[in-house]
Amino acid sequence: MAATPTVIFGAFDRHNFGDLLIAQVVARMLPRRERLFAGLAARDSHGDGGPRTVALSRIVAFARSRAVNVIHAGGELLTCDAWEAAVMLAPPQRVPTLIAAEGEWLRNGRAWAQKHVGVASLAPYALSKAALPGVRVKHLSFNAVGGVDLEARNAQLGADVLTALRSADTVSVRDCQTQALLAQWGIEARLIPDPATMTAVLFGTTIRRHATSLALREVRQAFPHGYAAVQFSADFGDDATLDTLSAQLERVAQAHGLGIVLFRAGAAPWHDDLEVYERLSVRLRAARVRVFASLNVWDICALIADSRIYCGSSLHGRIVAMAYALPRINFSHPDHSSKASKHAAYVRTWEAAGLSGVVHLENLADAVANALVTDCEQLRETASELARQYRLEFETVVAG
């Protein structure tokens, strides 16, 4: 009997390294199955190593009156509200208008969401079966999703998330904090590592091929003693924060003979900003820093895989480093709490005790020194065990 056609749904309709990567992981885990990638907007991210994505309205045509499975691919989907989604999906020239429309969104949430993202829900990346009129959904699942600060968000957002989760056949989450919160709401969710845990296992050959590209060869030639793969989001772009970060990275470079390679883990609005990276670069000694321009998922994976350590604000940067058994550190913005973040929740759930987790920016250099002497065998055991757990638990997500 043929496998059920499957819609892989998620936030890979914008450039975010993690979302594009987990879409490809879930697709690879579903061999010999007719698949459709869907998001809130149609996008073709093939040039960046991601999928070609259709808008929700195209799912009806894909189903052709057949029953289909719908899998939420993963990521921090439960806390992305419709206004945030609309801004991140907008072309640059529309972003200021949408930001200015926040008041209208707050007054007319669901109607505004229907108009701008095509779903009458404050949580448009959490689909209920009712959100897909005309589609016969055989099995609706949430795969390794996150919702760390859901309790602190808008109550209507929480209500829409709860509606979607209650309509699902299976729910799995990627951290204990989200699992505990959903349990309070009466939702039994399985615990499963993030899909990017499978990066090295599933895509090692592809990533090794990308490691031979001219850009990666130039990085290795510039830094024969190795480099730190460093990334941070645009909100780190104020002068005081950049001054702190540059001082810490100078200490890292001097103490360990490392180059500093800055890369973007997302180019959508509110993600990483090339101009901010350039401003940091001028604060660092020219011989110690390079800006890695590629936004291709596999180029980024290759850059992380060839590094001596990953340091950044991206959770998926960390998870890819985990998959390659590399030292990793997340750092937080001085104005944000490191303990309440999705990064901290993931570290508490899956990292070995004592391993560097999320650090304040002013402690980055000391954290790097500690991380670089982490037992390599322990890192390899974590990578292997998480991949084993993900493969085992993913079977519960997949229906016939």
Interior CA angle at 136 toward 131 and 141, to 5°? 65
If asked whether residues 139 and 258 sit together in one domain, one would say no
Residue pair 7/59 in contact (Cβ under 8 Å)? The answer is: yes
pLDDT for the residue numbered 1: 47
Residue pair 161/78 in contact (Cβ under 8 Å)? The answer is: yes
pLDDT for the residue numbered 400: 52
Tokens of 325: 């058994």
What CATH number is associated with residue 302?
Answer: 3.40.50.2000
Residue pair 92/14 in contact (Cβ under 8 Å)? The answer is: no
Answer whether residue 400 is part of any domain. Answer: no
Domain end among 192, 220, 246: 192
Residue pair 122/82 in contact (Cβ under 8 Å)? The answer is: yes
pLDDT for the residue numbered 76: 96
d(C-alpha 111, C-alpha 229), whole Å: 42
If asked whether residues 33 and 99 sit together in one domain, one would say yes
Q: Which residue is associated with the tokens 């309205």?
A: 57
* Cβ count within 10 A of residue 368: 26
SS3 11: coil
d(C-alpha 242, C-alpha 22), whole Å: 30
If asked whether residues 223 and 121 sit together in one domain, one would say no
If asked whether residues 128 and 262 sit together in one domain, one would say no
Answer whether residue 275 is part of any domain. Answer: yes
If asked whether residues 161 and 257 sit together in one domain, one would say no
pLDDT for the residue numbered 98: 85
If asked whether residues 211 and 344 sit together in one domain, one would say yes
Q: Which residue range(s) make up the domain with 119?
A: 6-192
If asked whether residues 217 and 348 sit together in one domain, one would say yes
Q: Helix-strand-coil percent breakdown of the chain, rounded to 5?
A: 50, 15, 35
Q: Torsions phi, psi of 322, nearest 5?
A: -60, -45
The pTM of this model reads 0.96
Positions in the chain whose pLDDT score sits under 70: 1-2, 337-339, 399-400
d(C-alpha 35, C-alpha 97), whole Å: 35
If asked whether residues 44 and 148 sit together in one domain, one would say yes
If asked whether residues 230 and 135 sit together in one domain, one would say no
Domain end among 164, 192, 220: 192
Instruction: Tell how strand 43-44 and strand 52-55 pair up.
Output: antiparallel
Residue pair 231/313 in contact (Cβ under 8 Å)? The answer is: yes
pLDDT in tens, 108-127: 889 999 999 999 999 999 99
CA-to-CA separations, 16 to 50, 301, 331, 349, in angstroms, rounded:
10, 13, 18, 23
Question: What stretches of 35-156 adopt beta strand conformation (E)?
Answer: 35-39, 43-44, 52-55, 67-72, 136-145
Tokens of 274: 């090339």
If asked whether residues 107 and 203 sit together in one domain, one would say no
Tokens of 160: 């829409």
CA 288 to chain centre: 28
